[in-house]
Amino acid sequence: YDMLQERGYEFVEPKPASEEDLLKVHDADYIQLLKQGAIEDPDTPAYKNIYEYAKLSAGGAILAAKINGFSLMRPPGHHAGRYGAALGAYTKGFCYINNVAVAVKHLDKPALILDIDGHHGNGTQEIFQGDPKVVFVSLHRYPHYPGTGAYSEGNCLNFPLPADCGEAVYLRTLEEALRKVDMQKIEVIAVSAGFDAYAGDLASLGLTEKTYAKIGEMLASFGKPTFFVLEGGYIGENIGKCIDEMLKAFNGH
């Protein structure tokens, strides 16, 4: 936050997402459990007021979608499925509410969700699988947590990659993935912007700041309304650098 503020980025304070927005994505019983703090998950514990924090993070994603911005909010979201843990995963991987899913449902437009987190977005896939308005594309390390995303299913296009595959392999794969999307039908691009594929992070694919700049350039080339939602990334000093490089390149700087 401090580094991005020093570099001149404008920050806007979000409002919490409404329960109506959450229920477009998650089962009512799951939301009730979150409210009550009645969840048992070693990765995703029932911290005090976590439901309120999660609603605020989802609200940040909605605001980013409205203004074509970047939601610098946590907790992240892409492992959270309709009922909590998704597609047979044993935990929710630090995620309570699926922020990018809430934002895409709020917009209700034909969307591409591009997940560049180093882990598969199993919650996002579960929520949107079979949805004719949404194409979900995920590039992720495999085999790795959460153990899903080995193959594509319908509108969910998965591109599993080996550990530390490096920038060249990653960018070739991303180009291949995006060629499979009929961009004429897409009105908005939502990016699950995780940075744990950075070299040495939890899901390292050997990426660098320059890789994220090239991703930004690639996304800008489509000329579509685009917003970004922070997911993973656990080497703090790298996250701001990667965000800055990606957004500068996206904006043509």
- Residue-range domain boundaries for the chain: 2-250
Catalytic annotation on 79? yes
Q: Are strands 188-193 and 226-230 parallel, antiparallel or unpaired?
A: parallel
8 A C-beta contact, residue 147 and residue 158 = no
Which one is the CATH code of 2-250: 3.10.20.600, 3.40.800.20, 3.40.50.150, 3.40.800.10? 3.40.800.20
Q: Choose, from 79, 106, 119, 144, the residue flagged as catalytic.
A: 79
Mean pLDDT (whole number) for 44-53? 93
Give per-residue pLDDT as tens, 25-38: 999 999 999 999 98
pLDDT of residue 229: 99
Check residue 253 and report its DSSP letter.
Answer: -
Q: Tell the residue number behind the tokens 């079979």, with chain if given.
A: 130
8 A C-beta contact, residue 240 and residue 203 = no
Round to whole Å and give the CA distance between 19 and 21.
5
Element (H, E) at 157: strand 156-161
Q: Which of 120, 93, 112 is nearest to 197 (CA)?
A: 120
From residue 111, alpha-carbon distances to 94, 100, 170 in Å are: 25, 11, 22
pLDDT of residue 108: 98
